[in-house]
Every structure is written in structure tokens, then in C-alpha cells.
Amino acid sequence: MPNTKGPDQIFQRALAEQEILLPKCDDCGAFHFFPRVLCPHCHGTAISWQRASGKGRVHTTTVVRRKLERGGDYNVCMVELEEGVRMMSRVEGIAPGDVVIDMAVTAFVGEAEDAPIVLFRPAKV
Amino acid sequence: MTDQLRGKSAIVGTGHAGFGEAHGLTSFDVMAQSALAALGDAGLKLSDVDGLFCTMMEDSMPALMAAEYLGIQPRFIDGTMSGGSSFVNYLTSATMALDAGLCDVALIVYGSNQRTASGKLVTASRPPAYEAPYNPRYPISGYAMAAARHMHEYGTTREQLADVAVAARAWARHNPEAFERGPLTREDVLGARMVGDPLTVRDCCLVTDGGGAIVLVRADRARDFPKPPVYVLGSAAQSAHRQISQMKDFTVTAARESGKRAFAAAGVSPGDIQAVELYDAFTINTILFLEDLGFCAKGEGGAFVEGGRIAPDGVLPVNTNGGGLSCVHPGMYGIFTVIEAARQIRGDAPGIQLNDIDVALAHGNGGVLSSQVTAILGSQATL
């Protein structure tokens, strides 16, 4: 694919190949999310990409209440990854109301409207 | 704003229009009616306005659209869009522009018909790319996650959240301008339809039509108008993020910084504030802002609001008009915090008028706890 140089494109393209990449600053060593052309912590512009471990914890969570005929309730949460960044996501495989803060979760690449997205499921104990 | 600007500008007119349901009117109609009401209150005409401060939900060039509709060609405009906090933020830019002689009569104005037009939040803002695939409901999912984290870290309860809504309603019951004036109990709030856990529909602000407007002039001529002037003693902003997913600490807002600087500029402390007008889009907001502005310690907001302590005859008068929860919430509520604070100081509050109010605080919130702006207003006696 030509011109896959932009940070958003790099992230999305990896995701399409079932891989979750996280941007990491070469200068300060910190990860950040969402992807961008500079590090929001130290403002360095040398950014590398690292495969996410996929391990995270639910930082906070809510249930979006929706009528059954429109698909029913679903989870929206913030997951803090082992790498120190947080992303909005959804924990699947359990009832939306059973997602609780501090729950250990594991990332996987799922799909929303025919596009790949990062989702989570409860970590195996 | 630094203390160089303390008391340099004054509110000499406030107005509103279209509260509740403004059938058949557009947002700009309601905006214009609000402008006329505020100018009438100040004894001024639209042709006197040479500084316009405006943003609207549905347009990306709101100040130009508003000026065109009003038939004025202002020499200074500010349409900075930081959500509902914009209108508190304009107190700073209007004071600066007035003080610098860039304009002589500043009009801050807003209007919306969101209730009769669609019944939900209308916005020209696009969903953030890294949140949109998860379908959070804007803006409630963000506030719900802040509430959930506050409950987790500090043991704040749904009952305490409910008491914020109950207190707001208790004030609104005395306010003929308020949209919701029926009785409301803690049990009503807890038993209402859950919208985004842990928030029920009664933890959420109203969806109404309505507009508001404020007229400001330089302090040196503020006593030449029909109503007692209300001075801007200090105002300060802090921008934290845009998307809720970028909020660093879900239990601490930028009100901590905006409040600190507004108090310093005004030369007062939380203990001096006699009326507190906060942007209560959701019940958690009131708790967060009371903590972050220094009315209580972090984590103690739940206990602080419990059992009528911020209701009439409580410990601290908070949202004395009924707030966004019970009085009016037309998409963005920020301007009404300033209007109610000014009216409490002038002595013509529409609902419960508190006795001898000289110093009041107005606090605007924008986005998803993204932008925080604090203003402190004072009477002639505070200069």
C-alpha cells in the first residue's frame, strides 16, 4: 500500500493484519495513544512502533443502555494497557454490567462496521 | 486573567428567551431574542454593540452568523468554541477587549432550539476517530465513566449523586423560570430509567430550548445603567483534553487550576463565595467541581452534597436557579451560570433570592470535562 507513512495509517494497517501496534517515543521512552506525529509527553518527533502485549486492566466502565430491538445494552470502557496508555474499548464475552474496574483483560482484534478494532475479553486466570 | 483586570469590566444587562419549548423558532431566533432582552435590561440598543462573543451548536462560524442575523457589524468578535464553558470564557476575552479599547459594549449571547428541533444534543462536532467505533453515547458515557471511577476510588454513592439532582430541583421549585418544578426525591432519581450506568435519566441535565445574553461595559461607566453593575473580579480557564479517553485522571478536573487562578485574580477564597453556580450537566459534575474548586477536599464531594447540604437552607447555596438539571439546558448551559450569579448579586434572581450577596462564583464546563472556566463576580462593594 503506498503512502502508509502517517501514524494513523500505520496503526490501522497493522490492525487490518490482526496486529496491535503502539507508538513509542524514542526520546523519552513513553508510549502514547492515539497515534500522532509527535510525543505528547516530551514533544519529540522520533516515534517507533511496538507490538502491544495485549494485557490490560479496566480503568473505568459504563453500560450504554439501549432498547432490545436496537441491539440491547453494551459496554463502553477505558482500558489501561500494560504499556501505560489508555484506550476506549469494549469488553466482550461477558454481560456489559459485569465489566468492573480493575478487571484484568486481554486485547484482540475484532470488527465494527467491516473495519478492524481493538476489543478486549476477560483475561484467563 | 490576572489581577490587573480585576473589576475592569461589569455586567450591566442580562437576558434570556425561549426557556423550555420555543415552538417554531430557530436557534438564531432564540439567540436574537436573548440579545434584545439583555440589551433592554441594560437600556442599550443593538446598534450600541461593537463587540460580539458567541458560539452556537450547529454552525462553525457562529459569531459571523449571529452578527449578520442581528444586523450589526462588530469591530471585535470572539467565537472560541470550548463547549458550554465558552460563555464563561468570553468574560475574560470581553474584559480584555473592553480594557484595551477594542470595543465599548460587549454582548455575550447564545440560543438553541434543541428540544423542539430534535429532542437531543445537536452538534457540529465530529466523533473522535479512536472513540467512534465503540459507540459511546455523547456526552453521557464520558461522565458516566468519571462517576464510576469516583465511586470506585472514594466510595461515592448513587444516593449522593441523586442528592445533587434533588437539591437542584428544590431550588427550581421556587423558580418560575425553571422547566422542571415538580417534586423529586432521592428514590425518584435512583428508580428512574438507567441511561449510562451509574447515571439515570434524572442524573442528567434537561434537554430544553433557550438562550441567554450578557452585556458588559468598562467599569468606569458601569454605574450609568439602570441595574446595579456586577463586576468581573476574576476569570480563568484551563483546557485539559477534548476526548474523554484522553482525560488523565477521571476524578480530577481542570477546575482545580481554573479555580485557583480565578480566586487569586479576584483576591478571594472559597469561604468568601456566597452563591455557587456550577455547570451541572450531570450530577457527578457538581461533586467534581465542588471538590476541584476547593469547597471540600477531593473525595469528600459525595458527603458534602448529601441530605440537602447544597439545597435551600443548606450549608452552601449551589445552583440557586435549579441548574441544568432542573432549570434550563439548551445544549450548552454555561451562560446561565453567569446570569444567575449576576442576578443573585443584583438582587433580582428569578427564584430564591439570597440575602446580601456580594460575591458569587460561576463555573463553566465544556466538552467531556474537557474545558473548565471559573469566574468570580462581585458587587460594587467588592471593588
CATH number of domain containing B39: 3.40.47.10
Q: Which amino acid is at B356?
A: D
Average confidence (pLDDT) over B354-370:
98
Contact residues on chain B for A63, CB-CB shorter than 8 A: 194, 196-197
Q: Looking at the domain assignment, is residue B154 inside a domain?
A: yes
Under a CB-based contact definition with an 8 Å cutoff, are residues B81 and B187 in contact? no
Q: Is A62 on the interface with B (CB under 8 A)?
A: yes
Q: What share of chain B is helix, strand, coil (3-state, %, to 5)?
A: 40, 20, 40
Ramachandran quadrant class, A28 (left: phi over 0; alpha: psi -120 to 50; beta: rest): alpha
Under a CB-based contact definition with an 8 Å cutoff, are residues A98 and A73 in contact? no
Residues of the domain holding B208: 1-121+137-383
Angstrom distance (rounded) from CA B304 to CA B28: 39
Count Cα atoms within 13 angstroms, Cβ side, for B319: 40
pLDDT in tens, A42-96: 999 999 999 999 999 999 999 999 999 999 999 999 999 999 999 999 999 999 9
How much is the pLDDT for B180? 98
Alpha-carbon distance B142 to nearest alpha carbon in chain A (angstroms): 9
Q: Which amino acid is at B278?
A: L
How much is the pLDDT for A1? 47
- Which pLDDT band, with edges at 50, 70 and 90, does B125 fall under? confident
Q: Is B288 on the interface with A (CB under 8 A)?
A: no
Q: Looking at the domain assignment, is residue B126 inside a domain?
A: no
How much is the pLDDT for B1? 57
DSSP for chain A, written as a single string: -TTTTSHHHHHHHHHHTT--EEEEETTT--B-SS--SS-TTT----EEEEE---EEEEEEEEEE---GGGT--EEEEEEEETTS-EEEE-B-SS-GGG--TT-EEEEEEEEETTEEEEEEEEPP-
Angle at CA of residue A21, ends A16 and A27, nearest 5°: 150
Whether residues B245 and A115 touch (CB distance < 8 A) is answered with no
Alpha-carbon distance A55 to nearest alpha carbon in chain B (angstroms): 18
Neighbours of B58 (CB within 10 A): 17
Alpha-carbon distance A93 to nearest alpha carbon in chain B (angstroms): 15
- The model carries a pTM of 0.97
Q: Looking at the domain assignment, is residue B309 inside a domain?
A: yes
pLDDT in tens, B219-232: 999 999 999 999 99
For residue A36, the 8-state DSSP code is -
With the CA atoms of B223, B227, B231 and B232 taken in that order, what torsion angle do they form, in degrees rounded to the nearest 10?
-130
Burial of B115 (0-12, 13-18, 19+ CB in 10 A): buried
Where exactly does CATH 2.40.50.840 map onto chain A? 53-125
How much is the pLDDT for B119? 73
Q: Looking at the domain assignment, is residue B132 inside a domain?
A: no
Whether residues A88 and B245 touch (CB distance < 8 A) is answered with yes
**By CA distance, what is A90's nearest residue in B?**
B134
pLDDT above 90 covers a percentage of chain B that reads 96
C-alpha cell at A71: 441491539
Is residue B122's pLDDT more than 80?
no
Q: Looking at the domain assignment, is residue B56 inside a domain?
A: yes
Under a CB-based contact definition with an 8 Å cutoff, are residues B227 and B214 in contact? no
Average confidence (pLDDT) over B7-28:
97
Is residue A2's pLDDT more than 70?
no
How much is the pLDDT for B60? 86
Q: Could you tell me which CATH class the domain A53-125 is placed in?
A: mainly beta
Q: Which amino acid is at A98?
A: D
Q: Is B130 on the interface with A (CB under 8 A)?
A: yes
Q: Looking at the domain assignment, is residue B128 inside a domain?
A: no
How much is the pLDDT for B96? 98
Distances (CA, A) of B365 to B1, B75, B149, B255: 17, 28, 19, 8
Is residue A118's pLDDT more than 50?
yes
Residue spans of alpha helices (H) in A17-94: none
**By CA distance, what is B131's nearest residue in A?**
A88
C-alpha cell at B336: 446561565
Whether residues A87 and B130 touch (CB distance < 8 A) is answered with yes
Contacts of B101 (CB under 8 A, 6+ apart): none
**Contacts A–B by Cβ distance under 8 A:** 70
Whether residues A64 and B136 touch (CB distance < 8 A) is answered with yes
H-run or E-run covering B106: strand B106-112
C-alpha cell at B6: 480585576
Contact residues on chain B for A62, CB-CB shorter than 8 A: 141, 144-145, 148, 196-198
Under a CB-based contact definition with an 8 Å cutoff, are residues B158 and B148 in contact? no
Q: Is A33 on the interface with B (CB under 8 A)?
A: yes
Cα end-to-end span (Å), chain A: 40
With the CA atoms of A114, A120, A121 and A125 taken in that order, what torsion angle do they form, in degrees rounded to the nearest 10?
150
Average confidence (pLDDT) over B170-183:
98
Q: Is B141 on the interface with A (CB under 8 A)?
A: yes
Distances (CA, A) of B325 to A30, B125, B168, B181, B217: 41, 23, 6, 11, 31
Q: Is B252 on the interface with A (CB under 8 A)?
A: no
Burial of B55 (0-12, 13-18, 19+ CB in 10 A): buried
Average confidence (pLDDT) over B158-171:
98
Domain count, chain B: 1
ipTM (interface pTM): 0.96
Q: What share of chain A is helix, strand, coil (3-state, %, to 5)?
A: 15, 40, 45
What's the gap between Cα A5 and its chain centre? 20
Q: Is B146 on the interface with A (CB under 8 A)?
A: yes
Neighbours of B101 (CB within 10 A): 9
C-alpha cell at B192: 428512574
pLDDT in tens, B259-285: 999 999 999 999 999 999 999 999 999
- Which pLDDT band, with edges at 50, 70 and 90, does A3 fall under? low
Is residue B287's pLDDT more than 80?
yes
Q: Shortest CB distance from A62 goes to which of B148, B152, B243? A: B148
What's the gap between Cα B110 and its chain centre? 12
Average confidence score pLDDT of chain A: 95
Contacts of B295 (CB under 8 A, 6+ apart): B270, B273, B276, B304, B316
Smallest CA-to-CA distance from A101 within A73, A83, A71, A80 is with A80
C-alpha cell at A48: 517507533
For residue B315, the 8-state DSSP code is S
Q: Is the dihedral of CA B216, B60, B259, B180 positive or negative?
A: positive
Contact residues on chain A for B194, CB-CB shorter than 8 A: 63, 65
Under a CB-based contact definition with an 8 Å cutoff, are residues B312 and B170 in contact? yes
pLDDT above 70 covers a percentage of chain B that reads 99
Q: Looking at the domain assignment, is residue B130 inside a domain?
A: no
Angstrom distance (rounded) from CA B259 to CA B79: 23
How much is the pLDDT for A5? 82
Under a CB-based contact definition with an 8 Å cutoff, are residues B298 and B252 in contact? yes
H-run or E-run covering B89: helix B86-99
Is residue B120's pLDDT more than 80?
no
Burial of B175 (0-12, 13-18, 19+ CB in 10 A): buried
